[in-house]
A and B are shown apart, each in its own frame.
Chain A
């Protein structure tokens, strides 16, 4: 062909130009994100005004006009007049100052408070270790068993020179952590069995599992806790008695088991059919197939929703307040029953909220991070 060059236009490579100023830089960012049009501008201004108003109001109340301590008489009765005068204007953080040990540890003997404190740190350590992917092995179950035993020893005492503390005197944050953690530890195996049962092709077993899951999920947790507190004693033979905390714990395990079972079942369903068939083709028995091939993959898939479910239980343990078990929320509520401190619920609930929030926020961030990480792995 002769007219190649005529037909082929060539462009000299022009250097990349910077975008016009109107497209980049902080001004452009504000233009697109805050003042894109009149509607967006109105929202920005209204919200900005609201934030500044409430922010200033809150700082005034919580810090500037707040009362941090009040005089306490030698008999241990606080003089809260200053707080009462500042009511509505300034927060009374003195109630936290005076009552924080009670809120955190309940009626646990004052001199032994280091023990529940260590227990709390052990729990947190346990969560952190469990959160790390390199510890996701079967040995993790052993670590859990060991730490939970140490926790039991610390709380009860009676050995190694520690005085014995009966369970009725436990309270506060350790109870919340115990209910949530033991609940998960025992509900998990139940959940796996129920989820497998619901997927099995044995009709009677499937029916039993469906019945259990649907019954529990159909009623509020409170009704199970009521059942635990008023009906369990009737269920047991005469002379056999289990204490209130354990009964509530059983109710929470039954409750958690049903919800976790549905999460695990979702993981089992998400696993490709080929995995089941490959395991069958290798001649593995049902339990070997489940233990070596199916569960390790299915559980990995559902870790983020499992963490979210756990956040739910962590929050739901506060319901034991209604049957009078001394968890963190109950301890907080009890702290303000004393006449001197009546009416300072808002301060106490804000403080309790901070504690719950720290735990739940950490877990939810972890779960979100894990989800993106696992998704990345899967895509690769």
Chain B
């Protein structure tokens, strides 16, 4: 892939960072899963996190909207520090959208209701307005015709696109993607990645855990390689992939490339 095909960067280095992690440590019981993680993500920056399984990359982004609690260090999202204060938690979760590996659509609600739930109950939006908003985003992810169906009736790729639309309906400033394509069949991966590229074009701040190297090359401003709970290398996708500095990244890349 040549440089011409990559997206123009929308990083706004002048603004304060959207996300800032300083010396973050986390343990599961005695297991040290995040080790002294330092990371600044600028507004509009698109970061791809990769690494072998169990390297702590999912935990890292789950700490950012506090689905997991970190035990040491400081996480500041959109100017608000994460703490036990429930009000700050509510504020952050409104600004941060998340897409999960296993979609996690609500099976008892229709596609439209999945999308309008949070605008109605969190943003206190009238139903009609929420419906219009949801239809707008469903159109953008190209499945408006499925609005009245239930998640169980959709394919995996369609479900994941609904999940993206659902998160977007909250008009978040930051989007987190936790391996959004790992649970999908190959032919469905593309439709989800296309949706994500489209989102990146709008200048959204994104952190994305994924093994899709093609996506990383096209979209990412920066790629972070994690192993055993720490950030081992980070840099522009081209340079990182073509010239890995550490043995760990070299091994990882050779495995990934062999696999694809």
- Is B178 part of the contact surface with A, judged by Cβ < 8 Å? no
Q: Cβ of B240: which chain A residues have Cβ within 8 Å of it?
A: 8
Is B25 a contact of A9 with CB atoms below 8 Å? no
Q: Report the interface size for chain A: residues with CB under 8 A from the other chain.
A: 17
Is A16 a contact of B32 with CB atoms below 8 Å? yes
- Is A128 part of the contact surface with B, judged by Cβ < 8 Å? no
- Is B110 part of the contact surface with A, judged by Cβ < 8 Å? no
Q: A17-B25, A17-B32, A19-B30 are in contact. Are A8 and B234 (CB under 8 A)?
A: yes
Q: Cβ of B239: which chain A residues have Cβ within 8 Å of it?
A: 1, 4, 7-8
- Is A11 part of the contact surface with B, judged by Cβ < 8 Å? yes
- Is B106 part of the contact surface with A, judged by Cβ < 8 Å? no
Partner of B233, one of A1, A9, A24: A9
Is B30 a contact of A13 with CB atoms below 8 Å? no
- A6's nearest neighbour on chain B, judged by CB, is B235
Is A14 a contact of B36 with CB atoms below 8 Å? yes
- Is A23 part of the contact surface with B, judged by Cβ < 8 Å? yes
- B31's nearest neighbour on chain A, judged by CB, is A19
CA–CA, A254 and B205, complex, Å: 67
CA–CA, A24 and B30, complex, Å: 6
CA–CA, A7 and B35, complex, Å: 22
Within 8 A of B (CB), among A2-53: 4-5, 7-11, 13-14, 16-20, 23-24
CA–CA, A41 and B85, complex, Å: 22
Partner of B29, one of A9, A10, A13, A23: A23
CA–CA, A16 and B36, complex, Å: 10
Q: A19-B29, A24-B30 are in contact. Are A9 and B71 (CB under 8 A)?
A: no
Partner of B231, one of A4, A11, A16: A11
Query: Interface centre among A1, A5, A10, A11, by most B CB within 10 Å?
Result: A11
CA–CA, A5 and B244, complex, Å: 10
Is A9 a contact of B35 with CB atoms below 8 Å? no
- B26's nearest neighbour on chain A, judged by CB, is A19
- Is B2 part of the contact surface with A, judged by Cβ < 8 Å? no
CA–CA, A9 and B29, complex, Å: 30
Q: Cβ of B11: which chain A residues have Cβ within 8 Å of it?
A: none
Is A20 a contact of B234 with CB atoms below 8 Å? no
State the Cβ distance, B241 to closest chain A Cβ, in Å: 11
CA–CA, A7 and B240, complex, Å: 9
- A29's nearest neighbour on chain B, judged by CB, is B29
Within 8 A of A (CB), among B232-246: 232-236, 238-240, 243, 245-246
CA–CA, A20 and B245, complex, Å: 32
Q: Cβ of B229: which chain A residues have Cβ within 8 Å of it?
A: 16
Is B32 a contact of A10 with CB atoms below 8 Å? no
State the Cβ distance, A13 to closest chain B Cβ, in Å: 7
- Is B230 part of the contact surface with A, judged by Cβ < 8 Å? yes
State the Cβ distance, B40 to closest chain A Cβ, in Å: 11
CA–CA, A5 and B245, complex, Å: 9
Partner of A23, one of B27, B243, B246: B27
- B232's nearest neighbour on chain A, judged by CB, is A11
Q: Cβ of B234: which chain A residues have Cβ within 8 Å of it?
A: 8-9
Q: Cβ of B25: which chain A residues have Cβ within 8 Å of it?
A: 17
Is A17 a contact of B35 with CB atoms below 8 Å? yes
Chain A, residues 195-213, CB within 8 Å of chain B (1/0): the string is: 0000000000000000000
- A17's nearest neighbour on chain B, judged by CB, is B32
CA–CA, A20 and B243, complex, Å: 37
CA–CA, A10 and B224, complex, Å: 11
Is B246 a contact of A20 with CB atoms below 8 Å? no
Is A16 a contact of B35 with CB atoms below 8 Å? yes
CA–CA, A286 and B71, complex, Å: 63
CA–CA, A18 and B245, complex, Å: 28
CA–CA, A67 and B157, complex, Å: 73
Q: Cβ of B243: which chain A residues have Cβ within 8 Å of it?
A: 4, 8
Q: Cβ of A9: which chain B residues have Cβ within 8 Å of it?
A: 233-235
Q: Cβ of B230: which chain A residues have Cβ within 8 Å of it?
A: 11, 13-14
Within 8 A of A (CB), among B219-260: 228-236, 238-240, 243, 245-246
State the Cβ distance, A36 to closest chain B Cβ, in Å: 13
Within 8 A of A (CB), among B139-160: none
Q: Cβ of A11: which chain B residues have Cβ within 8 Å of it?
A: 230-233
CA–CA, A24 and B31, complex, Å: 10
CA–CA, A109 and B32, complex, Å: 69
Q: Cβ of B228: which chain A residues have Cβ within 8 Å of it?
A: 13, 16
Q: Cβ of A4: which chain B residues have Cβ within 8 Å of it?
A: 235, 239, 243
Is B36 a contact of A18 with CB atoms below 8 Å? no
CA–CA, A23 and B230, complex, Å: 20
Query: Interface centre among B25, B229, B239, B245, by most A CB within 10 Å?
Result: B239
Chain A, residues 243-287, CB within 8 Å of chain B (1/0): the string is: 000000000000000000000000000000000000000000000
Is A8 a contact of B232 with CB atoms below 8 Å? no
Is A8 a contact of B238 with CB atoms below 8 Å? no
Is A8 a contact of B32 with CB atoms below 8 Å? no
Is B233 a contact of A8 with CB atoms below 8 Å? yes
- A1's nearest neighbour on chain B, judged by CB, is B239
- A24's nearest neighbour on chain B, judged by CB, is B30
| A interface with B by C-beta (< 8 Å) | 1, 4-5, 7-11, 13-14, 16-20, 23-24
Q: Can you list 7 pairs linking A and B with CB atoms under 8 Å apart? A: A8-B239, A10-B232, A10-B246, A16-B32, A19-B30, A23-B29, A24-B27
Q: Other than the known A10-B245, A13-B230, what 10 A-B pairs have Cβ atoms closer than 8 Å?
A: A1-B238, A8-B235, A8-B243, A10-B232, A16-B35, A16-B228, A17-B35, A19-B27, A19-B30, A23-B29
